[in-house]
A and B are shown apart, each in its own frame.
Chain A
Amino acid sequence: MEWVRFTAAAVFLLFATVMECIAVFGVYKFKFVMNRMHSAAIGDTLALLLGAAGLMLLKGSRWYSFKLGLIVIMLWMTSAISSHVIMRMEYSIDEKKVKEETS
Chain B
Amino acid sequence: MNNAVMSAQNVLLIGIMFVYAVLVVLVLIRAVAGPRIADRIMAINMIGTIGIFLMAVVAVRLDEEYLLDICIIYAMISFLSVVILTKVYMGVHQENVLRKQKLERERRENGVSAEEDELDRLLSNLDKDTPPE
A interface, CB within 8 angstroms of B: 2-3, 6, 10, 13-14, 16-17, 20-21, 23-24, 27-28, 33, 36-37, 40, 43-44, 47-48, 51-52, 55, 58-59, 63-64, 67-68, 70-71, 74-75, 78-79, 81-83, 85-90, 92-94, 97
Contacts and interface: CB of A to CB of B under 8 A. Distances in A.
B27 A89 contact: no
Contacts, number: 134
A30 B37 CA distance: 16
A86 B27 CA distance: 17
15 contacts: A2-B1, A2-B2, A6-B9, A23-B46, A24-B27, A27-B30, A27-B46, A28-B30, A47-B53, A51-B56, A51-B57, A67-B71, A78-B79, A81-B83, A82-B83
Contacts of B98: none
B104 interface: no
Interface of B: 1-2, 5, 8-9, 12, 16, 19-20, 23, 26-27, 30, 36-39, 41-43, 45-46, 49-50, 52-53, 56-57, 59-60, 65, 68-69, 71-72, 75-76, 78-79, 82-83, 86-87, 89-90, 93, 130, 133
B75 A93 contact: no
